[in-house]
Amino acid sequence: MPKIIDGFWFLPKKLLKFTLCLLLLVELNACFKDKAEAPEVGGKVKLEKISFKQLSGWNKENFAEVVPVFAKNCAVIAKNKNELLYDSEIKIKTKDYLSVCERFNKKNIRTTEQMKHFLESEFVPYAISNNGNAEGKFTSYYEATIHASLEKSAKYRYPIYGKPKDLVEINLRDFDVNLPNTRLVGRVENNRFVPYYNRRDIERNGIKAPVLMWGDDLVDIHFMQIQGSAIAYMDDGSELRIGFAESNGRKFKGIGSILLEKKLLSSGEATMPKIREWLRKNPQKAADLMAENERFIFQRLSDADGPVGALGISLTAGRSLAVDNEYIPLGAILWLDTYTPDKDDLEKIVFAQDIGSAIKGVVRGDYFWGHGEEALQEAGRMHSDGRYYILVPKYSSPTVR
């Protein structure tokens, strides 16, 4: 039988060895499958030094708006100085960022002119390309809203779960340095480590997990899970912020893809507002279709002033970007060059502060639009070609692994 020590499951040695071998085979098979289906994700990353004059729209930027986000970014880099910028293909020495941040903190920078001069004095832009292609895809996300109550009722009947008590996480490399650095989520059943329940199982049968609150709309809850966070408008008039706590480890499949596959929407209609409209008009089919996305997100209550990204700080509307941190270091400063859903130029400084299961590739980003209905309308329509450039401390020498 497995033992519980300090809240963690430990399996007998023989069973653990067998389980890890089986998991490794499954993981290797998944890796080969993913590579075959998405060859554009990998590739040869190249950095090319350019000048600020080559950045389209640079002189039109509102640099004063960047100041508080830069300060917040510096604070988290200082806090995580031994870890932050080393785990991606593009490597930048954290100490070089810290030096820039120290000089920033000594200056009382407030205006657009001051911040523009500081960035041009301290950084050098580099163009990023993948196999010679600098173009990539940029989508957008937002902070959802739901209506909820702390008490279950006929109206508020859908549970918003916290992290389950029986959810177990392991990393293969913790057991053998020669194994992949792969994190797996599951549970223990009859002395076996098995995948965690899928969405359909959870919604039909319930799970051993705290219920943070009860929602009134399964579609809104599903959208909250896709985005990872939400503001909950409570029935007593208060507001609570809900953040990402954990997932069930299952593969994500977007509801838009599901509706397209079944020819329930055309390609031109697969925007978030249109998807939500279809689901609400077809409530009996909606639950079954949403359950085809096996990934389920567990939430936590948050007292932050915004949704918290993978960098560990609250995201800023219009300034935070989710990236693939296999290639782009979290905490990096980027110049984004793309366009909005209405084809207006979107040229501005953004910060790599988040990641996402669907954000994969060298030139790939998910722009954080904000929260509320207006943000949904914009984020749900964005699917733009574009490129980005990484701003590197002037006296640093970025390398590519």
- Is the model's pLDDT at 321 over the cut of 50? yes
Residue 180's pLDDT band (cuts 50, 70, 90): confident
Token representation of residue 292: 């085809």
Please compute the mean of the pLDDT values over residues 4-16 and round it to a whole number.
41
Closest Cα partner for 139 from 271, 281, 7, 329?
271
DSSP state of 228: S
**Reported pTM:** 0.76
What residue segments make up the domains of the chain, in order of their start? 1-35+165-196, 57-140+309-400
Rounded distance between C-alpha atoms, residue 77 and residue 160, angstroms: 33
CATH of domain 57-140+309-400: 2.40.40.10
| Cα atoms in the Cβ-side hemisphere of radius 13 Å centred on 400 | 14
Q: Are strands 333-339 and 345-354 parallel, antiparallel or unpaired?
A: antiparallel
Rounded distance between C-alpha atoms, residue 161 and residue 190, angstroms: 25
**HEC sequence for 351-401:** EEEECCCCCCCCCEEEEEEEECHHHHHHHCCCEEEEEEEEEEECCCCCEEC
**Cβ neighbours around 193 below 10 Å, total:** 21
Question: DSSP readout, 97-134?
Answer: HHHHHHHHHHS---SHHHHHHHHHHHEEEEEEEETTB-
Residue 182's pLDDT band (cuts 50, 70, 90): confident
> Higher confidence at residue 291 or residue 4?
291
Q: Which residues contact 37 (CB under 8 A, 6 or more apart)?
A: none
Please compute the mean of the pLDDT values over residues 340-366 and round it to a whole number.
93
User: What percentage of the chain reaches a pLDDT higher than 70?
Assistant: 88
Predicted local confidence at residue 288, as pLDDT: 94
Predicted local confidence at residue 53, as pLDDT: 96
- Give the tens place of pLDDT for each residue, 211-255: 999 999 999 999 999 888 899 999 999 999 999 999 999 999 999
Instruction: Assess contact for 362 and 119: CB atoms under 8 A.
Output: no
- Is the model's pLDDT at 378 over the cut of 60? yes
> Higher confidence at residue 381 or residue 393?
393
Token representation of residue 397: 């020498």
Token representation of residue 72: 């917040």
Closest Cα partner for 372 from 138, 141, 148?
141
Instruction: Assess contact for 299 and 212: CB atoms under 8 A.
Output: yes
**41-50, 173-182, 210-219, 297-306: segment of lowest average pLDDT:** 41-50
**85-99, 281-295, 363-377, 384-398: segment of lowest average pLDDT:** 85-99
**101-110, 242-251, 268-277: segment of lowest average pLDDT:** 268-277
> Higher confidence at residue 30 or residue 332?
332
Predicted local confidence at residue 84, as pLDDT: 54
Residues in the chain: 401
